[in-house]
Amino acid sequence: SDYSKEPPRHPCLQINSKEPFNAEPPRSALFRSYVTPVDLFYKRNHGPIPVVDDIERYSVSVSGLVENPKELSMKDIRMLPKYDVTATLQCAGNRRTAMSKTRTVKGVGWDVSAIGNAVWGGAKLADILELVGIPKLSSSTKSGGKHVEFVSVDRCKEENGGPYKASIPLIQATNPEADVLLAYEMNGEGGALPTGKQPLNRDHGYPLRVVVPGVIGARSVKWLDSIDVVAEECQGFFMQKDYKMFPPSVNWDNINWNTRRPQMDFPVQSAICSLEEANAVKLGKVTVSGYAASGGGRGIERVDVSFDGGKTWVEASRYQKTGIPYVSDGESSDKWAWVLFEATGDVQRNTEIVAKAVDSAANVQPENVEDIWNLRGILNTSWHRVQVRVGH
């Protein structure tokens, strides 16, 4: 693999693996802004960052089980109505390092920052599929469980040198309300051609990536090469042999990958970001901040914070955009985006400060990481704990 053409990166990123490049920002970068700056947004790759330098010749083929297969240029895609969707992207491996402390897991280690919130600009997949003859809201019963597969330009060893790929159900792909995008902008950087700015940077999928809101990051394929409508879900490595949630009893000797579905929606999650894993604090009032997010478009109903290791709880205040009150499932809330929270409590002795969130379906984060341990170390959504030692 050729890692000689990697893009420049922010020096603050904590590098979890150099080749392929996997890195996350410091915790403090997350709660400081509702929209995560592009250079501080986590970067999760399985191979070298591909070079797409001839944008005039770049195109995406849309084919498979469709009436009129098409090759779409960037111009064709930019001609479709443009949508800006604020959506949180989270890697299923977020908080894996903490899970691996109870029992070894396989995978790149991550602290709590394999997550970010961005304003993605691009065309809706539902509009693209309409161009090739697939009507909006094609129900999966009528279409027999069809999927829409995304194939990338990049190459990775898990696919034996083939491209990274993933798929989502056709019912979701053709639903305009699901807001699945082919994004060419991230946080408004880019805009209508021509500008001096680079639309969507190379690390995040230049020139075009899929964004599947509310679903684990692995399905949001970067550097898109083709879209295929297929009869069943994608058979690629990352759908069939990875990113599946197993019970704690399954190990590498008794695993049967076919017994589980590929993970799609991410579960309710939260983390304290204003403190590190272990901290010295002053006796008395302590204020903490962090993020909470849930999958499937479910909002955050509540965030509870404990300043005494989980014995008593206070409810945190929640916000997205300043000046607009956050209401879970409210009209002016961003349904695919995280919620930032803040809570103040009294710390009188050495203890743990703990956060747990509740989503709009009343799902609660599990208390202990042991209970959700799985051999791939995914979906660690256990209560987030930070240790505080009282100084003077």
Site residues for ligand MTE per CB under 6 A: 41-46, 89, 91, 152, 154, 164, 204, 217-218, 220-223
At closest approach, how far in Å is the CB of 114 from Mo ion?
Answer: 7
Token pair of 203 as six digits: 């690390």
Q: Which does 340 bind (CB under 5 to 8 A by kind): ligand MTE, Mo ion, none?
A: none
Q: Which does 110 bind (CB under 5 to 8 A by kind): Mo ion, ligand MTE, none?
A: none
91 binds Mo ion (CB under 5 A): yes
At closest approach, how far in Å is the CB of 203 from ligand MTE?
Answer: 6
Alpha-carbon span 143 to 346, nearest angstrom? 57
Q: Which does 42 bind (CB under 5 to 8 A by kind): Mo ion, ligand MTE, none?
A: ligand MTE
Looking at the Cβ atoms of 38 and 255, the one nearer to ligand MTE is 38
In degrees and rounded to multiples of 5, residue 100 shows phi and psi of -70, -15
First-to-last C-alpha distance (Å) of the chain: 53
At closest approach, how far in Å is the CB of 241 from ligand MTE?
Answer: 14
Residue 364 forms beta bridges with which residues?
A: 358
Q: Return the residues of window 33-52 that contact Mo ion according to CB under 5 A.
A: 44
At closest approach, how far in Å is the CB of 356 from ligand MTE?
Answer: 23
> Beta 269-272 vs 209-211: how paired, if at all?
unpaired
Q: Which does 164 bind (CB under 5 to 8 A by kind): Mo ion, ligand MTE, none?
A: ligand MTE
Site string for Mo ion, 209-238 (x = CB under 5 A): --------xx--------------------
Alpha-carbon span 79 to 89, nearest angstrom? 26
Looking at the Cβ atoms of 20 and 345, the one nearer to ligand MTE is 20
**99: helix, strand or coil:** helix
Question: Which of these, 389, 213, 384, 388, lies nearest to 303 by C-alpha position?
Answer: 384
At closest approach, how far in Å is the CB of 133 from ligand MTE?
Answer: 26
Token pair of 219 as six digits: 């399905």
Alpha-carbon span 108 to 69, nearest angstrom? 38
Supply the DSSP symbol for 375. T
Q: Which does 199 bind (CB under 5 to 8 A by kind): Mo ion, ligand MTE, none?
A: none
Looking at the Cβ atoms of 31 and 206, the one nearer to ligand MTE is 206
Looking at the Cβ atoms of 42 and 313, the one nearer to ligand MTE is 42
At closest approach, how far in Å is the CB of 38 from Mo ion?
Answer: 18
Report the Cα 30 to chain-centroid distance in Å. 14
Looking at the Cβ atoms of 221 and 347, the one nearer to ligand MTE is 221
Question: Which of these, 148, 81, 154, 108, lies nearest to 14 by C-alpha position?
Answer: 108
At closest approach, how far in Å is the CB of 105 from Mo ion?
Answer: 14
Looking at the Cβ atoms of 213 and 217, the one nearer to ligand MTE is 217
At closest approach, how far in Å is the CB of 47 from ligand MTE?
Answer: 6
**138: helix, strand or coil:** coil
Question: Which of these, 66, 13, 89, 27, lies nearest to 384 by C-alpha position?
Answer: 27
Q: Which does 150 bind (CB under 5 to 8 A by kind): Mo ion, ligand MTE, none?
A: none
Looking at the Cβ atoms of 46 and 335, the one nearer to ligand MTE is 46
> Shortest Cβ contact with Mo ion: which residue?
91
The b/e string for 358-386 (b: 16+ C-beta within 10 A; e otherwise) is bbbeebbbbeebeebbbbbbbbbbbbbbb
Q: Number of C-alpha atoms within 13 angstroms, CB side, residue 327?
A: 6
Looking at the Cβ atoms of 14 and 63, the one nearer to Mo ion is 14
Query: Is residue 290 within 8 Å of residue 341, measured between CB atoms?
Result: yes
Interface contacts to Mo ion, rule CB under 5 A: 44, 91, 217-218
